[in-house]
Amino acid sequence: MNSEHESIIIDEVVKLLQGGSAHIGLKGALKGLPAEARGAAPDKLPYSIWQLVEHIRIAQWDMLQFCLNANHKSPKWPDDYWPNESLPADDAVWENSLRQIDNDLKEFIELVKNEDIYKKLPHGSGQTILHEALQIADHNAYHISEIIVIRRLQGNY
């Protein structure tokens, strides 16, 4: 593959990680969310917006660390990927979670831009940075859409 094609693929993967052209990003999905709506889970749904945000944070962090550190130990699935609390302890906890999501995503995008995205990670079972990037984008888009649905059910989107 020539460098022009490689550049196009990397640009598209970065765009996808940032929300793509067919999806809204996390910031857009949370824009204008009232603080009191963070912990409310609509009837028959097992999670709140806070739990989805924290799940996105934990899963994305895990995938980033997997790419960066051969000695990384993933949290226990599924228990450690979901918070027990339906809402954040306070605004600082909420803001810290959002900041980590943003910072980890920026760090992952730097990996995509600066590393060989096709090379198998030596400590994995066939995963590549490209695989992890697509997994992050897919996972985040899925849960961001759930946030939007919850907001619509709450009447605040």
Phi then psi for residue 128, to 5 deg, are -125, 170
What does pLDDT average to over the chain? 95
Query: Residue 22: its pLDDT value, please?
Result: 81
The alpha helices in 26-128, defined as continuous H runs, are: 26-30, 49-68, 91-114
Beta bridge partners of residue 128, listed in sequence order: 120
31-49 burial, b at 16+ Cβ within 10 Å, e below that, comes to: eebeeebbebbeeeeebbb
State CA 100 to chain mean position distance. 10
- pLDDT band at 106; cut points 50, 70, 90: very high
- pLDDT band at 21; cut points 50, 70, 90: confident
Helices 3-17 and 91-114 cross at an angle (nearest 10°) of: 170
**What is the CATH number that goes with domain 3-154?**
1.20.120.450
Residues 6+ apart with CB under 8 A from 22: none
Structural domain boundaries of the chain? 3-154
pLDDT at residue 1 is higher than 60: no
pLDDT at residue 144 is higher than 90: yes
Residue 128's closest CA among 51, 67, 76? Answer: 67
- pLDDT band at 2; cut points 50, 70, 90: low
The residue-averaged pLDDT of 87-111 equals 97
